[in-house]
């Protein structure tokens, strides 16, 4: 297994006035060649975590190891320039008065002067920027400036590159293309990388693993598939894509949670006693249209997205009234509002989520009888 490049253990950071607990008890390991994204809403501590790793902030508590050495911890400190960490800032931070070549050479004071130009040229070639060596940043497109910033960060061959919202300044149509190109370059070069993003699409698309942050904490770390299919908390379930939150009761004798809409069997890791009221998150992709399906309901609205039809469906609940579910239907045909549709649930898209009891009152009904279901706004 590859070795860890970054290890954070119980890292905390607060700011005055407030105090603002920007980063609380964060533990995280990033391994060589891995691309990991810190994903979370504005103000959750993503940039502060990057700045702590880069050495622009000093942690109040905890230990940060870079390449196996303690870079920050009680009576240890390695300054930013000695950490072997490259950082690409959100606004690229290119020097406007320096050419592309000189921008890239700027970070190369660690290698002999005569070799700097050749190294800058080599990295710019890799990034398809060879012809732009003598241009100035304002003579480049946004995507090209983005790649110059990346060239400057990777030219000194750092152990790790940190990228803070690197794609947020790009137009929607350029964004996916630049993102995929940049990630391909990083992967080919085997560069270890931490991205910061508040866009779940980007995070799921480019990362080996995603660390979802909320209010200074890491709520869950996992592969994009794990995060999407099996969120462990209400926050992760609702922040990373749309979901349906269903009230359920733990049935330990068969290791399942029983809901109005069927049984789900992923409760073991929670270790909750029989009869505990919990919530189950079911992604809209977890519903499969089937004439034999036990769930039947009427379509309330549809949105065609290309990949699927996102439909709101009113389903009669076992306890009376109706519940509204968001489901993804195959895009191969059109659907009418009012049309009846039958489907079954794929338990693989369902996950028992933490926090439900704490958030909504332990043991109390999570959804009132006959009321609309709990459907997150996203």
- If the CB atoms of residues 164 and 312 are measured against Mg ion, the closer one turns out to be 164
Considering only residues 47, 144, 192, 200, which one is a binding residue for Mg ion as defined by CB under 5 A? 47
Q: Which stretch binds ligand ATP (CB under 6 A): 15-23, 219-227, 254-262, 295-303?
A: 15-23
List the interface residues with ligand ATP, window 186-205 (CB under 6 A). Answer: 198
β-pair type (35-39, 209-214) = parallel
Which of Mg ion, ligand ATP, none does residue 48 bind (CB under 5 to 8 Å by kind)? ligand ATP
39 binds ligand ATP (CB under 6 A): no
CB 255 within 8 A of CB 247: no
Q: How far apart are CA 220 and CA 5, in angstroms?
A: 20
Among 5, 8, 11, 22, binds ligand ATP (CB under 6 A): 22
How many chain residues bind ligand ATP (CB under 6 A)?
12
Position 56 contacts ligand ATP (CB under 6 A): no
Among 7, 47, 144, 243, binds ligand ATP (CB under 6 A): 47
State in angstroms the smallest separation of the CB of 378 from Mg ion: 20
Shortest CB 207 distance to ligand ATP, Å:
16
Part of the chain binding ligand ATP (CB under 6 A), chosen from 37-45, 255-263, 304-312, 367-375: 37-45
Structure token pair of residue 175:
């964004």
| Residue 37 binds to Mg ion (criterion: CB under 5 A) | no
Taking the C-alpha atoms of residue 92 and residue 334, their distance in angstroms, rounded to an integer, is: 44
d(CA 295, CA 204): 30
Is there binding between residue 46 and ligand ATP (CB under 6 A)? yes
How many residues form the binding site for Mg ion (CB under 5 A)? 1
Angle, vertex CA 81, rays to CA 169 and CA 162, nearest 5: 30
Distances (CA, A) of 339 to 29, 65, 122, 285: 49, 58, 60, 19
Q: Which is nearer to Mg ion, 193 or 282 (CB)?
A: 193
Under rule CB under 6 A, residue 20 binds ligand ATP: yes
Q: Is 91 in the site for ligand ATP (CB under 6 A)?
A: no
Q: Which 272-331 positions form the footprint of ligand ATP (CB under 6 A)?
A: none
Tell me how far, at minimum, the Cβ of 47 lies from ligand ATP, in Å.
3
In the complex, the smallest distance separating the C-beta of residue 177 from ligand ATP, rounded to whole angstroms, is 23
CB atoms near residue 185 (< 10 Å): 18
Q: Do residues 133 and 124 make contact, with C-beta atoms less than 8 angstroms apart?
A: yes
Cβ atoms of 290 and 344 within 8 Å: the answer is yes
Q: Hey, what's the torsion of the CAs at 86, 90, 96, 98, to 10 degrees?
A: 20
Q: Which stretch binds ligand ATP (CB under 6 A): 14-22, 124-132, 181-189, 359-367?
A: 14-22
Quick check: 40 and 220 in contact, CB under 8 A? no
Q: Is 43 in the site for ligand ATP (CB under 6 A)?
A: yes
As a whole number of angstroms, the longest Cα–Cα distance in the chain is 79
Non-local CB neighbours of 221 within 8 Å, separated by 6+ positions: 28, 209, 210, 211, 212
Q: Which residues bind ligand ATP (CB under 6 A)?
A: 15, 20, 22, 40, 42-48, 198
Q: Which residues bind Mg ion (CB under 5 A)?
A: 47
């Amino acid at each position: 297994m590859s070795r860890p490049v970054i290890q954070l253990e119980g890292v905390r950071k607060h700011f005055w006035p407030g105090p603002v607990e920007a980063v609380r008890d964060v533990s995280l390991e990033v391994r060589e060649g891995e691309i990991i994204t810190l994903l979370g809403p504005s103000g959750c501590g993503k940039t502060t975590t990057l700045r702590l790793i880069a050495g622009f902030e000093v942690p109040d508590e905890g230990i940060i190891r870079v390449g196996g050495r303690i870079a920050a911890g009680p009576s240890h400190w390695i300054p930013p320039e000695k950490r072997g960490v490259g950082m690409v800032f959100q606004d690229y931070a290119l020097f406007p008065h320096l050419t592309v070549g000189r921008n890239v050479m700027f970070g190369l004071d660690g290698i002999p002067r005569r070799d700097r130009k050749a190294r800058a040229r080599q990295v710019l070639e890799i990034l398809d920027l060879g012809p732009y060596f003598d241009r100035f940043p304002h003579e480049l497109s946004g995507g090209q400036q983005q790649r110059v910033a990346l060239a400057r960060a990777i030219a000194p061959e750092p152990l790790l590159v940190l990228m803070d919202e690197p794609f947020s300044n790009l137009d929607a149509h350029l964004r996916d293309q630049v993102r995929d190109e940049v990630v391909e370059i990083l992967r080919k070069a085997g560069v270890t990388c931490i991205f910061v993003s508040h866009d779940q699409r980007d995070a799921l698309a480019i990362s080996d693993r995603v660390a979802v942050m909320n209010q200074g904490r890491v709520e869950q770390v996992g592969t994009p598939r794990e995060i999407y299919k099996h969120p462990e908390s209400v926050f992760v379930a609702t922040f990373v894509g749309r979901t349906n939150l269903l009230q359920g009761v733990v049935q330990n004798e068969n290791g399942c949670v029983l809901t109005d809409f069927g049984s789900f069997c992923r409760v073991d890791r929670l270790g909750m006693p029989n009869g505990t009221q919990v919530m189950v998150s079911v992604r809209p992709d977890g519903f499969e249209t089937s004439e034999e399906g036990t769930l039947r309901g009427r379509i309330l609205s549809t949105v065609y997205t290309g990949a699927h039809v996102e439909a709101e469906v009113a389903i009669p609940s076992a306890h009376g009234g109706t519940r509204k579910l968001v489901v993804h239907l195959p895009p191969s045909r059109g659907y009418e509002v009012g049309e009846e549709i039958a489907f079954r649930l794929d338990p693989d898209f369902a996950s028992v989520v933490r926090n439900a009891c704490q958030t909504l009152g332990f043991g109390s009904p999570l959804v009132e009888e006959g009321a609309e279901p709990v459907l997150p706004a996203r």
